[in-house]
Amino acid sequence: MKKLKQEAEIKEISKYKYGFNEGEVSKLKLDKGLNEEIIRKMSAIKAEPEWMLNFRLDSLKKFFAMPQPSFGPDLSFIDFQDYYYYTVGTDGFVSKWTDLPDKIKNTYDRLGIPESEKNFFAGINAQWDASPVYEQLQSEIADLGVIFTDCDTALKKYPELFRQYFAKLVSNHDNKYAALNSAVWSGGTFIYIPKGVKLEKPLQAYFRINFQQAGQFERTLIIVEDDAELHYVEGCTAPIYSKDNLHAAIVEIFVGKRSSVRYTTVQNWSDNVLNLVTKRSIVEEDGRMEWVDGNIGSRINMKYPACILKGDRSQGDTISIAVAKKGVYQDAGSRMIHLGKETKSKIVSKSITFQGGTANYRGLAYIGPNAINSKARVECDTLILDNQSHSDTIPQNKVHNNQSQIEHEATVSKVSEEQLFYLMSRGISEQEALELIVMGFLEPFTKELPLEYAVELNQLIKMDMEGSVG
């Protein structure tokens, strides 16, 4: 009996292909818990300017004073004193994979990151727990004036530029988890694209939580000047542990006039990660912001990428998927805030639930009084594969002038026996037939991904779906 139980546990864990653990790698680890002493130690280790220490301490006070979100899943069970808020895997970052410690290098080799860098990306940034461990940017890209580094380095090397934009879109009193990130942020990504520079290849960041009960609180700050283009891709994984890991990131993106930014996330956290993220962009005249957001895994995921369409004729788009199986609660969506004239936005949300999972869409389409002749469209589609799973659509649609329009469409469907029978009559097994139906349902999302990510995503979802028939 014991052997059968162990085999079942091994089979369950093996479904998450990134749940392996090479062992602890920590050059430095502050004590568990969250208090002013931890903040001061962290800031001192980083040799930060006084204004940043003061910002962190102010954020800590706001965090303790703020309540949990009043919507979505219950988060009252989180014990914030039960996490490590600062662990460091290396003595600074390197620019060659071969210079990484063996355990970290072996992990990234197994994740396929060096091969991806060589074949697909103009630059890459890798973070391990709370600190960056690897950074590289192609020389011809750097020669154009592009900056691609982590936020700790940007604070020191580009202090005026960093301070001009830091916490301007997401303040430390925006919500409880934005306040937490503001108090303990570390690493993350800083990108600056000068005026007129259009990158043909994406830049990539890869975030790995490795230490049990660790928090990862990266900060992403992207500034794209006028007439420029950027595609940024991030991936996320973590080992499987019996206790939760906490991930609370902040993303701030500034899109200049006539510029275009695409932010692609393939989040594949293990099911013991609590993912509580604030992502926001502001778009100037004739600019465009696209969020391509894939959400697989996480015990709880709360994420609502936002576009503030400030400039006239600016555009915002979000296309997202959320996949929820047993033990997974996806509460995700998008927010489009129209302020400029003749602005346009579109939200396409695809959700799949099976084995008792929960996947909700929660979003906002707001058209302000001065945003005349603006249009917003929201499409929410959910595919439920059994009778135990759950999904809700919770939209807010607000129009404050009579010369604009919002369209909202929502569908919830199940896989029909007729669809399965038709495919199975062509010699396809029931599991394969179900996978074909799901892949077709997700095609509007996967076609927006770089090819290597689309192939990987399809494989991940197929592994998640194992055992969903019968």
**Which of 303, 326, 355 lies at the terminal end of a domain, its last residue?**
303
Give tens-digit pLDDT for 5-60. Answer: 444 433 443 344 444 344 444 556 788 999 999 999 999 999 999 999 999 999 99
Give tens-digit pLDDT for 446-455. Answer: 788 766 566 6
Total of domains in the chain: 2
Q: Are 151 and 125 in contact (CB under 8 A)?
A: no
CA distances (Å), 212 to each of 79, 133, 242, 422, in order? 14, 18, 8, 46
Rounded to whole angstroms, the Cα distance separating 75 from 175 reads 14
**Which of 303, 320, 353 lies at the terminal end of a domain, its last residue?**
303
105: left (phi over 0), alpha (psi -120 to 50) or beta: alpha
Helix (H, G, I), strand (E, B) or coil at 393: strand
The Cα angle at residue 229 between residues 282 and 134, in degrees rounded to 5: 95
Same domain, residue pair 299 and 419? no
Confidence label for 257 from pLDDT (cuts 50, 70 and 90): very high
Structure-token pair, residue 176:
């409880």
Q: Report yes or no on 55 lying in a domain.
A: yes
Rounded to whole angstroms, the Cα distance separating 418 from 416 reads 5
Helix (H, G, I), strand (E, B) or coil at 183: helix
Lowest mean pLDDT segment, chosen from 106-110, 213-217, 261-265, 276-280? 106-110
Question: Once rounded to an integer, what is the mean pLDDT over residues 157-162?
Answer: 97
Give tens-digit pLDDT for 296-325. Answer: 878 999 999 999 999 999 999 999 999 899
- pTM comes to 0.85
**Which of 274, 303, 332 lies at the terminal end of a domain, its last residue?**
303
Q: Report yes or no on 339 lying in a domain.
A: no
Q: Report yes or no on 346 lying in a domain.
A: no
Q: Report yes or no on 134 lying in a domain.
A: yes
Same domain, residue pair 296 and 421? no
Structure-token pair, residue 460:
């991940």
Q: Are 224 and 178 in contact (CB under 8 A)?
A: no
The number of beta carbons lying within 10 Å of the beta carbon of residue 76 is 7
- Sign, CA dihedral 329-411-339-189, equals positive
Question: Once rounded to an integer, what is the mean pLDDT over residues 162-179?
Answer: 98
The number of beta carbons lying within 10 Å of the beta carbon of residue 439 is 14
pLDDT at 240: 40
Q: Report yes or no on 210 lying in a domain.
A: yes
Same domain, residue pair 296 and 419? no
Q: Are 273 and 243 in contact (CB under 8 A)?
A: no
Same domain, residue pair 137 and 278? yes
Q: Report yes or no on 77 lying in a domain.
A: yes
Render the burial of 183-205: b for 16+ CB within 10 Å, e for the rest.
Answer: bbbbbbbbbbbeeebebeebbbb
Strand order in the sheet with 375-384: 131-137, 123-128, 203-208, 229-237, 260-268, 288-296, 315-324, 344-353, 375-384, 405-414
Same domain, residue pair 239 and 90? yes
Rounded to the nearest integer, the mean pLDDT of the chain is 82
Q: Report yes or no on 217 lying in a domain.
A: yes
The Cα angle at residue 258 between residues 338 and 336, in degrees rounded to 5: 20
Q: Who has greater pLDDT, 462 or 166?
A: 166
Q: Report yes or no on 72 lying in a domain.
A: yes
Range of the structural domain that residue 443 is part of: 415-470
Rounded to whole angstroms, the Cα distance separating 253 from 283 reads 8
Give tens-digit pLDDT for 342-384. Answer: 999 999 999 999 889 999 999 999 999 999 999 999 999 999 9
Rounded to whole angstroms, the Cα distance separating 338 from 315 reads 9
Q: Who has greater pLDDT, 237 or 259?
A: 259
Rounded to whole angstroms, the Cα distance separating 58 from 55 reads 5
Rounded to whole angstroms, the Cα distance separating 461 from 296 reads 8
Say if strands 260-268 and 123-128 run parallel, antiparallel, or are unpaired: unpaired
